Structure 1
């Protein structure tokens, strides 16, 4: 029995794309923020603006505050999405995100900047489980990986816009205005979708979980209206399991999705936020803050192509092979650059090959991060957990990732000064190997399976006589 066959078999259409845009803008801001906070730190370090003088504590808090609060956003909105509904909370997280980003631009001092970025972080965190699940539960089987990957690929667009905004602002505006423009632009994309999010119908799967027959039909027809068999069975019911049942059945999978995301974000956020110092150490200190921002953005530009390679291949190669390959290539590239690095203590003195070639290898790691586990760790939890705990499972997994991001962001500057780039890359190579092994052991492949099959959900279709 395939109760959502009309939804799963419908062709890709405009409403799928509409949900993609509505879901994706939060991830634009997530990636925009990942790069732009590094650019803002560059401005503060270069100009020592009144009220924004940095020490090691403020640097760590400014870099990591939004990441720490994102953990709470992911857990809170993940639970709420399963127990009060995806639609009920959809738009609230975007409002928090937009408000926090906009208010950051008007911060009178560094303390208020940290507070406003913390508000933004809650919104960013809440966006992960809700947007991923809504796109997954509306997608057809053939294009589900592609559509959820496209939601996440807005990170690639956000990264490039951040490089452009950061560089243009630094080159053309006074320092005290340049960083405020950088902060404010992140609010715009999220603000454009708040209304659209409030208008998206509750998903078909959650409607079936709640026994809401009327909304079940409405939501199926929302994307499957051109399918002649666009009606779902009126008597379909998804069973809600207890948390103890969920944990006993899915604990290994939860370890896999949470553990691999934790490992991925150790590399992604540490090297991302501190891209400026890393690139400057490899290529040399540039002549201006603007040039430093441009150089720091080069790895993000390489990673941009990884997002859309993942979109193209996700439903062909599958999530598990792509994630495994990504972790392996990260380990190889980090290990190779570390092997080629010549250091004295924590100080990088050069490479056994030209620095530009070593930098190219390092930048290539961003392609495999974004083609591989940075995308797949987002997709897989939206498919492999049952409807009654889908946003919870995704939220727990995403929170584990952001925990890794928070830890590495807070301590990365210390690691760079204590063990140097060579030591950091050796550490990242080792954890990437662990990520590949954990993927092979604990991750299931959901490619071309219905959500009910991929998650082993309990679905009942009662006979009319029973009714």
Structure 2
């Protein structure tokens, strides 16, 4: 019978071990989102209290905010390459160890320089988590639930954000500022630390074992982890050079890397500096604690976007969700900027009430998460061949973090020079470009096996024993 040698995995019903892999994979993204929000809260404390050794100017604020993001690029590229060269299993858990160590050490930083260094270590771990966790979930998932499961891994960001809002607000209200920021930084180490051991125990994926290593016994043993039986007789391991990979998949790389670059320019800029943006809409907060709560409002709205994406990922498809998300982001940015009254590049008011203006603006976070923030993570885990899957995902994620670093570093300067109104117009144009790239360069992987999507077994007759 000529069918995919992995059809027994593809046709499985959802099992407990699928959920176990989801939890094991997802905790790194909890910390990623926790960090995205909490560094803004930490910056708020540094600016409000001028703590010795942690005084900020616009240069150091940009460096501190973007330090973990910059090194995440390195982690995504390095771990992406290693995941394909030596295997997913051999590196899985290393990135979580770096992430946890960096977050923990950040809490004990004696000054700003050491805080930046420790956050850079954490950033390497965060970056490494993207290609490895996404690919492991993708290669173990069944076809029917694959989009949902990969999206659920990423949806841990939503939970991490809500926890960050709570930890940030409670710490700011109840603790002295020199202790509060350290508590905020250190708690980010806990979730990733809980899965280091579990990650070291996850078997190599059956697809990597069979299609890259050519070890059919290991593939069959790995499949038994899910209760599946492959019973493979023979699979030809096809070698593909990196130039061959680029030649065949360059259009897809433009699609996955280009859209992630654009998405993160919008998401990280508005995310890290959510406090100043929301405060410019609602008015100056009465305390740092209130500013942290203000900053969390868009993230709370975005939380529901993650799980809307999870629910509809395998129904609507990745391409539809990503395109509509970009279009709605563009529309919301235009609407908010058009109703904004500006004086000397400062928000003086709105043509509607400030609470209504904030409600409209916060919906951009819903469509970011029910849109490209989730799908740019899901799609690269599906559309590249097994031998370059973590590499393709790592390149795409690195492009996103480059966009995030640029945005996070430039946002304070742009807010001060051109103002929020013009910034939103710029983000609207970027979002339109993101929708266009999605339509032209992304192909829909919904309800197809990974081998059908990538055509890496095309023309090969694999015998599957009954």
**Global fold match (TM > 0.5):** yes
Structure 1, unpaired ranges of 5+: none
The residue number in structure 1 matching 2:81 is: 79
Structure 1 distance, partners of 2:242, 2:457, is 14
Q: CA deviation at 1:238?
A: 4.0
Q: Determine if the alignment matches structure 1 residue 214 to structure 2 residue 217.
A: yes
Structure 2 distance, partners of 1:462, 1:31, is 42
Q: CA deviation at 1:462?
A: 5.7
Q: Aligned-pair RMSD on alpha carbons?
A: 1.1
Matched residue of 2:349: which SS? strand
Q: Is the 8 A contact 1:81 1:130 kept in 2?
A: yes
The residue number in structure 1 matching 2:26 is: 24
The residue number in structure 1 matching 2:254 is: 255
Q: Is the 8 A contact 1:254 1:397 kept in 2?
A: yes
- 1:119-158 aligned at under 5 Å gives the runs 119-158=121-160
Q: CA deviation at 1:245?
A: 1.0
1:403-440 CA deviation, whole Å, 9 max, x = no partner? 00000000000000011110110000000000000000
Structure 2 distance, partners of 1:64, 1:199, is 33
1:291-311 CA deviation, whole Å, 9 max, x = no partner? 110110010000000000000
The residue number in structure 1 matching 2:172 is: 170
- Residues 232 and 370 from structure 1, CA distance in 2 versus in 1: closer, same or farther, beyond 3 angstroms? farther
1:16-62 CA deviation, whole Å, 9 max, x = no partner? 00000000000000000000000000000000001101111110110
Structure 2, unpaired ranges of 5+: none
Q: Is the 8 A contact 1:237 1:461 kept in 2?
A: no
TM-score by length of 2: 0.97
Q: Determine if the alignment matches structure 1 residue 355 to structure 2 residue 358.
A: no
Greater shift, 233-242 or 45-54, is seen at: 233-242
Structure 2 distance, partners of 1:5, 1:312, is 24
- 1:258-273 aligned at under 5 Å gives the runs 258-273=257-272
Q: Determine if the alignment matches structure 1 residue 437 to structure 2 residue 440.
A: no
Matched residue of 1:210: which SS? coil
- Residues 284 and 241 from structure 1, CA distance in 2 versus in 1: closer, same or farther, beyond 3 angstroms? same
Q: Is the 8 A contact 2:4 2:462 kept in 1?
A: no
TM-score by length of 1: 0.97
Structure 2 distance, partners of 1:255, 1:433, is 16
The residue number in structure 1 matching 2:95 is: 93
The residue number in structure 1 matching 2:50 is: 48
Q: CA deviation at 1:93?
A: 0.3
1:68-111 CA deviation, whole Å, 9 max, x = no partner? 00000000000000001000100000000000000000000000
Moved over 2 A (4+): 458-464
The residue number in structure 1 matching 2:290 is: 291
1:180-217 CA deviation, whole Å, 9 max, x = no partner? 00000000000000000000000011001211112100
Query: How many residues in Structure 1 have an aligned counterpart in Structure 2?
Result: 460
- 1:43-442 aligned at under 5 Å gives the runs 43-208=45-210, 209-223=212-226, 225=227, 230-442=229-441
Q: CA deviation at 1:461?
A: 5.0
Structure 2 distance, partners of 1:457, 1:127, is 25
